Chain A
């Protein structure tokens, strides 16, 4: 097993998700919501014309980050980054925005997570250490978006598996995860079972099991190799 430097790991995760979205948007439109961190990086890699980014603070058609000197502090995404408009973008109030999400109009959300377990439960809103106090839109997004993609590095900063048997942290939603994308692998939940869809060239399936606490079955297709980034 070969370790993958952090920046490359993040870029690979974002590019893998972008490739998946490009494929899905080939025959139509795709409305996506991107969380803070790696999920936001997905926007840098998507190329399909029919992909529209929704920000839960009230915008559809979010463009790239605003360049220095062109920042408007009243034009931000939900991570408070100054962004730009795309042609045809629109603004709306927060109730309408979450109506889009809860109402099932947003096709996919990409979010980070502290833990995901083999029952597709997600823990991504709080580490109860007395320093955090916020949930934001995390619970609305995981329960409302049609598809929930988890973008996270395979191991925590302290080297622990983040794909676990059972979440130890407070959960954000029950059985809401649909896919988990890490620098080493792409997993999907198929009829409640965690399955491995793609694996990186730096690692074997046996090695992947040693850094993945959750059990998974193999369902490798091989037509879209993870390392093509």
Chain B
């Protein structure tokens, strides 16, 4: 059987409209969908909200989208690896919403599993709790955090089968499996595409139900 979800990198990126909320798996330059990001940068599609842990490095990885002025807003946890983010924020060219990393991960997971919001002790009493509802549970202050959903998720997996089941590679897994559950359209860039049955069912991390498009670099 052929892979009915297969699209070329460019066909996949053509699904992204200006103004979209785009979730991207990454931790620094580990585990991010390199070919998709390069094609998104080349497409020039703008006014994007990028939801990711960080923004790569200046002009590298996700950093390309900011260098290209394609970004309107960022939602993420850590931008000190790309100083261009603070500059753009100071100049008012973008807005940045900082979220503690564990809350960020859980908010994405929550969106994927149909939980609209949750209480967490993380960040209670800090600047990042300002304006958020606070309640005590077990004598501990907790703040209300809302789920984070996206229009499109661009994720990086190691291998897919032709149905779109996914497995990952080492710490390139990071946010990819949870983002694969939290967007309307999920596009997975993979290194290898295998026949159905080639992946051990016990080892599949992302079942194909969550995956809409499978793409890979054409060598």
Mark A residues whose CB is within 8 Å of B.
55-59, 72-78, 80, 91-95, 97-99, 101-102, 130-140, 143-144, 170-174
Chosen A-B contacts, 6 in total, with CB atoms closer than 8 Å, are: A94-B27, A94-B102, A98-B105, A98-B106, A139-B102, A172-B126
3 residue pairs, one from A and one from B, having the closest CB atoms: A98-B102, A140-B102, A134-B78
Give the size range of B's interface with the partner: 35 or more
Contact among B30, B77, B122 with A102 in the assembled complex (CB-CB below 8 Å): B122
Flag the segment in B41-49, B65-73, B172-180, B193-201 that touches A.
B172-180
Given contacts A95-B108, A171-B125, contact A136 B78 (CB under 8 A): yes
Q: A138 to B104, alpha carbons, bound, how many Å?
A: 12
Residues of A within 8 A of B159 (CB): none
B183 to nearest A CB, angstroms? 15
Residues of A within 8 A of B171 (CB): 55, 57-59, 74-77, 91
User: Are the C-beta atoms of B122 and A133 separated by less than 8 Å?
Assistant: no
Chain B CB count within 10 A is highest, among A97, A98, A133, A174, for A133
Residue-wise, chain B 59-89 has the 8 Å CB interface mask toward A (1 for contact) of 0000000000000000001111101011001
User: Are the C-beta atoms of B79 and A133 separated by less than 8 Å?
Assistant: yes
Residues of B within 8 A of A92 (CB): 173
Given contacts A95-B105, A134-B80, contact A74 B125 (CB under 8 A): no
Q: Which residue of A lies closest to B89 (CB)?
A: A133
B:86-142 near A, CB below 8 Å:
86, 89-90, 96, 98-106, 108-109, 120-128
Q: A138 to B127, alpha carbons, bound, how many Å?
A: 13
Q: A95 to B205, alpha carbons, bound, how many Å?
A: 13
- Does B218 count as interface, using CB distance less than 8 angstroms? no
Q: How many residue pairs bridge A and B at CB < 8 Å?
A: 141
A54 to nearest B CB, angstroms? 12
A104 to nearest B CB, angstroms? 11
User: Are the C-beta atoms of B86 and A130 separated by less than 8 Å?
Assistant: yes
Residues of A within 8 A of B81 (CB): 80, 134
Contact among A58, A134, A171 with B173 in the assembled complex (CB-CB below 8 Å): A58
- Does B204 count as interface, using CB distance less than 8 angstroms? no
User: Are the C-beta atoms of A173 and B128 separated by less than 8 Å?
Assistant: no
User: Are the C-beta atoms of A140 and B80 separated by less than 8 Å?
Assistant: no
B131 to nearest A CB, angstroms? 15
B186 to nearest A CB, angstroms? 15
Residues of A within 8 A of B101 (CB): 56, 94, 98, 135-137, 140
User: Are the C-beta atoms of A139 and B123 separated by less than 8 Å?
Assistant: yes
Residues of A within 8 A of B30 (CB): 57, 73-74, 76, 80
User: Are the C-beta atoms of A76 and B28 separated by less than 8 Å?
Assistant: yes
Q: A98 to B104, alpha carbons, bound, how many Å?
A: 10
Given contacts A130-B86, A171-B126, contact A93 B102 (CB under 8 A): no
User: Are the C-beta atoms of A93 and B79 separated by less than 8 Å?
Assistant: no
User: Are the C-beta atoms of B77 and A134 separated by less than 8 Å?
Assistant: yes
Q: A140 to B100, alpha carbons, bound, how many Å?
A: 7
B113 to nearest A CB, angstroms? 10
B129 to nearest A CB, angstroms? 9
Contact among A93, A132, A137, A174 with B124 in the assembled complex (CB-CB below 8 Å): A174
- Does B216 count as interface, using CB distance less than 8 angstroms? no
Given contacts A98-B102, A98-B105, contact A133 B170 (CB under 8 A): no
- Does B161 count as interface, using CB distance less than 8 angstroms? no
Q: Given A74-B30, A94-B102, A135-B98, output 16 extra A-B contacts at Cβ < 8 Å.
A: A56-B102, A74-B171, A76-B30, A80-B27, A98-B106, A102-B120, A133-B80, A135-B128, A136-B100, A136-B101, A137-B77, A137-B100, A139-B122, A139-B128, A140-B103, A174-B126
Q: A95 to B96, alpha carbons, bound, how many Å?
A: 22
Contact among B28, B122, B174 with A144 in the assembled complex (CB-CB below 8 Å): B122
- Does B6 count as interface, using CB distance less than 8 angstroms? no
User: Are the C-beta atoms of A173 and B178 separated by less than 8 Å?
Assistant: no
User: Are the C-beta atoms of B105 and A133 separated by less than 8 Å?
Assistant: no
